[in-house]
Structure 1
Amino acid sequence: MNQVGKNMKPEITTLRKFRDMIAYMNLPVFSYIDNDDFAIIKIHDMGLKMPYITPTFRPDFYTLIIVSEGKGTFMAGDHVFELGAQHVFMKYPDSYLSSGWTESPIGYNISFTEEFLTKYFPDGIDEIPAKDKTNAFNYGLSDEDYKLFDDICAEMYNEAISSSKNRYEMIANLLIHFLLLVQQYQNKIKLEIQNEKNALILASFFKNVDQNFNMLLSGDSSTVLRTKEHSKLLNVNETFLSKVISKTSGRTINQWINDRLIDEISYLLKNTHTPIPEIAQIFAFTDLKYFYTFFKKNTKTTPSSVRNDFNASDSDRAHVYRGEVVKIRTNW
């Protein structure tokens, strides 16, 4: 294994499908995983050699991690989550994800798309827990509560490897049960959806924001959508949309978009060598001076300081990429 150098950055791939990611890491793609809309694997059966680090992906699916043992660090966007024994981690689609394990994990990794639930349990879409600005959450559970999650995962796994014609219907039901349990632990999320219409608008707004940033990063768009553009996409009045988003999420449209901008910009500053003017251009800042003003207003620091401080730091999240604890595999 080669250690990650002091100034090296994690490889950012363009892969978004689960099976492609597993194959890219030279990990086993088990024969029972026959599509990209759902997969469940036992992490301890993957042959991970400690310490283990993944490249950076931008998955188009939901990720669920449940571990009874092990220790790892997950990066979702620009946010860090420490996983340990009896943790449940969930990440939403369309944001960067990478991870490093320093102690061998025992547990399950589940991936699923909205298309999977729509096909096999349409009503279950409403049971996907509401997200916050981190695009992920992580809970430590008691023995009793963890067993509930673990038992569901064991049932899902047994269905996945079976030859039952109705296995995906059974899995979808079990997945909904899992998501309902997750909702009980969303103590950090205080969204109060007043009615189904507002909930749908909020979910559609989040999806449009995700799509907008995906297109910015791929070079397919040069515009950051704001209230006017989002109201047109959703076919609602600007004032009405502003009130719905503020009332149901507790945050304004601009707060959501500005925080997402800062998150995406900060990630590229810390984890790539992309020149700052190029990062500004990616996110539709045509005036570099305004880019610096915007960033400092929202972070109280400068883009250069964020990059330099991160490169010079020995923080817990930095070590995962620099090799002080986690080594990278030679064939990456």
Structure 2
Amino acid sequence: MDIKKNNDNPEVKSLYDLYKLLDLRLDLIDPSEGFTIHNMKDIGLTMPYQSPSYRPDFFSFLFVKNGTGKYTVNEHTFDIKQQSIYFTNPSNYRTFSWQSIEEIYLITFDETFLKKYVGKDIFSYFPFLLTETIQPKEVTAEFYGIAEKIYLQILQEYKSQSSFRYKVIGHFLAVLLYRIKEYFWIDYNPLQEGSRSSQIVKSFKQLLENHYRDLSSGKADKVFRVQDYADAQHLHPNYLSNVIKSKTGKPIATWIVEKTISEAKSLLQNTSVSIKEITYQLGFSEAAHFSNYFKKHTGITPVQYRKELDTCK
């Protein structure tokens, strides 16, 4: 494989997109939902392997039972060792390299999957999902055994043909997240970690999450502008914009768009909520405005999105 042709720091919306970019096996991935799990040994990497730089739009966990390598997130490089767990979230550019892979399970999921199958207040229960960079965690054999039982149950369900498999996976994933929280981050607060700029980014992410929760519950009726997020942290909007762009690679406007579309997709999956209701819940004044906005950023209208969901059922 010619890595040089991919050295333009591509952005990928799913693991399926990433593996397609890297010319890896795609038959392990079901692109119908924002969730995947498999042993990385099965994807066809030739050792040693070095990836190009890319920026994903999904969360990921690596459970390393037997294998070694390195991950680089922005300027931070971490060694991946045996019997360790590694987590990354969307936004930052990263590369990975592997010296050996025998048994390393990769789980990825997007925000829409989390909110559909795990819970609407996912980031309140698991605030560590919002942090920027987390060092790989070496764990005891006892804890790894606990995690392994859960992710292998998830894998078994993922390979099944059950019409309820993603609902079951959502429950197992919640159990896994609670176990990881209990072991690593029982008192974790991402706002207390890192440099001042890191704190600004984490605070912005939480403000973004809280605001859209308020929109969906009716406590707010207008989408925040950059000025509103800046005022909440007592910052000049230009300074906030510069910090967010430099730390995450994405302008605030992009974060707001992606969050709006993610929330819209979650609401559209609930067919008991009309498109008119969704329009107002997301702060749009007219259904036509919401429909145009959704189509601009997804390529299809909200009505077409719902029809596609019905087709996949």
TM-score bracket for the superposition, by shorter chain length: 0.5 to 0.7
Partner of 1:176: 174
- Select the structure that is richer in helix: 2
Matched, 1:205 2:207: yes
CA 1:158–1:83 in structure 2 vs 1: closer, same or farther (change >3 Å)?
A: same
Equivalent residue runs for 1:227-266 within 5 Å: 230=226, 232=228, 238=231, 241-242=232-233, 263=247
Unaligned runs of 5+ residues in structure 2 are: 193-201, 211-223, 250-313
Matched, 1:38 2:35: yes
Partner of 2:161: 163
Residue 47 of structure 1: which of 44, 47, 62 is its match? 44
3-state SS of paired residue (2:167): helix
CA offsets per residue over residues 145-183 of structure 1, 9 Å max, x none?
011111111011100010011100110111111111222
Alignment check: 8 A CA contact 1:69 1:104 kept: yes
Alignment check: 8 A CA contact 1:78 1:264 kept: no
Partner of 1:294: none
Number of aligned residues: 225
Partner of 2:297: none
CA 1:122–1:53 in structure 2 vs 1: closer, same or farther (change >3 Å)?
A: same
Alignment check: 8 A CA contact 1:16 1:57 kept: no
Q: In 2, distance between residues paired with 1:55 and 1:207?
A: 31
Equivalent residue runs for 1:130-169 within 5 Å: 130=128, 134-169=132-167
Q: How many Å apart are 1:97 and its aligned residue?
A: 2.0
Matched, 1:102 2:99: yes
Q: Which has the higher contact order (CA 8 A, sep 6+)?
A: 1
Q: In 2, distance between residues paired with 1:132 and 1:124?
A: 13
Q: In 2, distance between residues paired with 1:97 and 1:39?
A: 19
Matched, 1:186 2:177: no
Q: In 1, distance between residues paired with 2:58 and 2:95?
A: 14
The one-letter code of the counterpart of 1:111 is T
Alignment check: 8 A CA contact 2:130 2:205 kept: no
3-state SS of paired residue (1:29): coil
CA 1:191–1:54 in structure 2 vs 1: closer, same or farther (change >3 Å)?
A: closer
Residue 61 of structure 1: which of 36, 58, 62 is its match? 58
CA 1:124–1:159 in structure 2 vs 1: closer, same or farther (change >3 Å)?
A: farther
The one-letter code of the counterpart of 1:232 is D
The one-letter code of the counterpart of 2:57 is D
Q: In 1, distance between residues paired with 2:140 and 2:58?
A: 28
3-state SS of paired residue (2:85): strand
CA 1:262–1:203 in structure 2 vs 1: closer, same or farther (change >3 Å)?
A: closer
3-state SS of paired residue (2:19): helix
Matched, 1:23 2:14: no
User: What CA RMSD, in Å, does the superposition of the two structures yield over aligned residues?
Assistant: 3.7
Q: In 1, distance between residues paired with 2:35 and 2:248?
A: 27
3-state SS of paired residue (2:55): coil
The one-letter code of the counterpart of 2:143 is D
Q: In 2, distance between residues paired with 1:57 and 1:3?
A: 12
CA 1:190–1:117 in structure 2 vs 1: closer, same or farther (change >3 Å)?
A: closer
CA 1:113–1:15 in structure 2 vs 1: closer, same or farther (change >3 Å)?
A: closer
CA offsets per residue over residues 294-326 of structure 1, 9 Å max, x none?
xxxxxxxxxxxxxxxxxxxxxxxxxxxxxxxxx
Alignment check: 8 A CA contact 1:51 1:100 kept: yes
Equivalent residue runs for 1:114-125 within 5 Å: 114-123=111-120, 125=122
3-state SS of paired residue (1:174): helix
Unaligned runs of 5+ residues in structure 1 are: 194-199, 209-227, 246-252, 266-332
Give % identity. 22
Q: In 2, distance between residues paired with 1:25 and 1:17?
A: 13
Alignment check: 8 A CA contact 1:40 1:109 kept: yes
Partner of 1:269: none
CA offsets per residue over residues 25-55 of structure 1, 9 Å max, x none?
1211125513251111111212222101112
